[in-house]
Amino acid sequence: MDILGFLALALAVLGLTFSTVSRFTRADERLVRVERKLDLVIKHLDLRAELPRMDEVNALVREGKKIQAIKVYREATGAGLKEAKEAVERLG
């Protein structure tokens, strides 16, 4: 009986874990879609806000130094690695 109780508890914990992970994954996916749509709206309305050091980021992209461009972008904006990488790739 103890083994069955332990297995039932383990399965319940695994179920809750997968449920929570999938909820976060869905939220992340929705956030990415919202950000893409917002980027399209900003581009359509030509509302580019000049970020600090963007000239430096653009120069690094033109020189093919994407890693350095990502680093400078992150320092200038406080963006995460994934967001900075996507932003720099859109520039290039």
> Which tens digit of pLDDT belongs to each residue from 4-60?
776 777 777 777 676 666 667 778 888 888 888 888 887 788 776 667 888 999 999
Given this model, what pLDDT does residue 83 score?
92
Q: 75, 48, 45, 71: which is closest to 60 by C-alpha?
A: 71
Going by pLDDT thresholds of 50, 70 and 90, the confidence category of residue 1 is low
Given this model, what pLDDT does residue 75 score?
92
Residues contacting 65, CB < 8 A, separation 6+: none
More confident residue, 34 or 69: 69
Given this model, what pLDDT does residue 21 score?
60
* Interval 83-91 mean pLDDT: 92
Given this model, what pLDDT does residue 67 score?
95
